[in-house]
Chain A
Amino acid sequence: MTFKEIVDILEAEIVLDSDDSDTEIQSVCSTDLMSDLLHFSSMPRSLLITGLANTQAVRTAEIADIKAIVFVLDKKPDKETVEMARQKDIAFIVTRLSRFTACGRLYAAGLRSCTGENR
């Protein structure tokens, strides 16, 4: 699924667009606990859906090679968070949907979870 399709499905507002709006997203992780994000071993071209609207989410996304982040419940990131994502080339969107509805719509549209555990 492309980044642009995800923006449409989540009726999201783009904070930082992907360099390439045809960027293909292949897997999703939804968590507010950052170590959980670091727990998956297989996360190809991955999207993070989180309610944790701070720089920690961006930093962890960078370490885990996440391509794009969704903040739910209309949580607007502060300047620092946006700036960090910009520097790390991570696309960034905000949806007014809850985590449940955001996950549900993307799952129903065919996206699947990151899998596996590290080693």
Chain B
Amino acid sequence: MSSGRAIEGSFHLTGGDFTNAGAASSELKSILTNLGISLAIVRRAAIATFEAEMNVIIHAVAGVMYYQVTADSIKVILNDMGPGIPDIGLAMQEGYSTAPDWIREMGWGAGMGLPNMKKNSDEFKVDSVVGEGTTVEIVIRIKEESP
């Protein structure tokens, strides 16, 4: 990738649309792979954004996933119109989930979403206003291996 230039774009996410759930992260994963970023880093980015995307699908009405890739880092910001998170500390605990039973029956709502995002990010921020929505910012640094 030529240095200094950023590659960016965005995806619209629709709450409750389980048919296309994960499609944005899947596309971002192939964009990153095609940029020649190492598989381990692509995998971390894919997992973190996929969990974040699923949170929007499960909990929010709609959202936007915006990404920016530079020579140094992958930054993904997810902004949703959703219920918001009343207690972020609690939501960060493994196993804590407010998802209803039918979501659990679809294989989600195990309370691992936010912890999985954090584990796979180098920088991770959550901002939320109850009744308005949530913004998640994920940064993954690319530099690690030098050729």
A residues near B (Cβ < 8 Å) are 32-36, 38-39, 52, 54-57, 59-60, 62-65, 80, 88, 117-119
Contacts of A80 in B (CB 8 A): 19
Q: Which residues of A contact B23 (CB under 8 A)?
A: 59
Report chain A residues within 8 Å CB of B18.
55-56
Tell me the B98-119 residues at the A interface (CB within 8 Å).
104, 106-108, 110-113, 116, 119
Bound-complex Cα distance A57 to B21 (A): 11
Beyond the given A33-B107, A35-B108, could you list 16 further A-B residue pairs with CB under 8 A, ordered by the A residue number? A35-B110, A36-B110, A39-B112, A52-B106, A54-B107, A56-B21, A56-B22, A56-B106, A59-B23, A60-B50, A62-B26, A63-B25, A63-B29, A65-B39, A118-B44, A118-B116
Q: Which 4 A-B pairs have the closest CB atoms?
A: A35-B112, A59-B22, A33-B110, A118-B119
- Whether A36 lies near B120 (C-beta < 8 A) is no
Say yes or no: B47 contacts A52, CB within 8 Å: no
Shortest Cβ distance from residue A119 to the other chain B in the assembled complex, whole angstroms:
5
Q: Which residues does chain A contribute within 8 Å of B107, judged by CB atoms?
A: 32-34, 52, 54, 56-57, 60
Q: Does B46 contact A (CB under 8 A)?
A: yes
Q: For B113, list chain A residues within 8 Å (CB).
A: 35
B112 contacts A63, CB within 8 Å? no
**In the assembled complex, how far is the CB of residue B25 from the closest CB belonging to chain A, in whole angstroms?**
6
In the complex, which residue of chain A has the Cβ closest to the Cβ of B112?
Answer: A35
Show 10 residue pairs from A and B whose CB-CB distance is below 8 angstroms, ordered by the A residue.
Answer: A32-B107, A33-B107, A33-B108, A33-B112, A34-B54, A36-B110, A52-B107, A59-B23, A60-B107, A118-B119
Q: A56-B22, A118-B119 are in contact. Are A63 and B106 (CB under 8 A)?
A: no
Is the Cβ of A118 less than 8 Å from the Cβ of B106? no
B51 touches A35 (CB 8 A): yes
Is B141 engaged at the interface, CB distance under 8 Å to the other chain?
Answer: no
Enumerate chain B residues within 8 angstroms of A65, measured Cβ to Cβ.
39, 43
| Closest B residue, CB atoms, query A119 | B119
